[in-house]
Amino acid sequence: MFSSADFLSKGTRAAVDKALSRLMRDGAIFRVARGLYAVAGQSLDAQAVASALARKTGERVAPAPVEGHGGALLVPTSGLSRTLKTAGHTLQFQRMCQRKVQLAASPKGRVLVALWARGMKNLTTLEIQRATADWLEAEVDSYATLIPAWLRTAIQQANAPRKSVKIGLSGAYDWSNPNIRDDVLIGKVLERHKFEDVARLCIYYGVPKVKRVFKRRAFDPMTTASVARMLSNISKGLRASKVHAHA
């Protein structure tokens, strides 16, 4: 791709413009954007167009466009926001802060730009997991100075092991809510009253906390009797283990 400025050493601006106009009329070249041309039949990718425009205008753009909405390609830029349809591409140049333009210089950085663009209110845990589930913690940390604190926290929380996994429960009691509150999780486990899971709850949270949740929750008579018996036996077992450990 080239512009009229590339030929000013060969003649006046008027002469160059006239020559380019004649070449366009003859079908030898075509206009990519205002003041930017390419040889007829040349296949242009979106990145090449964005980079050529950046060289022409002097603005800073990301080295590769980001997938936008409606099939358009989003180009983070330090210049003006505008939409360009050319060479089979729709490029949405969007003026962004320097941090976003810098982020968009790498593939994972472009993922972060897309998540950032969703916004704190609209971004879901599932979107974050799909985009960053296989990232190492160190990779997220390497972008810490470029992304907002809320996005970094959201990524860490979305990819953190579920409480059911950390506690060692036999089932995914928190499958629908990875950020489930402790008392809600305890209540769900007590409702199922599976002994090994109740015991793990008591070891992880402590018997007093589990008993407090048990007293606040209403269970059917059979569950109430079963859980009460379990908690009593678990308490005795934990006390006996402590005595044995100190002996």
Mind listing the pLDDT tens digit for each residue in 74-111? 788 888 888 888 777 788 888 888 888 888 878 899 89
Q: What is the pLDDT of residues 165-200, one digit of tens each?
A: 889 999 888 877 777 899 999 999 999 999 999 999
Q: Mean pLDDT, the chain, as a whole number?
A: 87
Using alpha carbons, list the distances in angstroms from residue 225 to 62, 149, 222, 229: 64, 47, 5, 6
Q: For residues 89 and 70, what is the distance between their CA atoms, to the nearest angstrom? A: 12
pTM of the model: 0.50
The pLDDT score that the predictor gives to residue 247 is: 59
Determine the average pLDDT of the residues in 22-35: 89
Q: What is the dihedral of CA 213, 214, 215, 218, to 10 degrees?
A: 110
Which SS3 state, helix, strand or coil, does residue 148 take?
coil
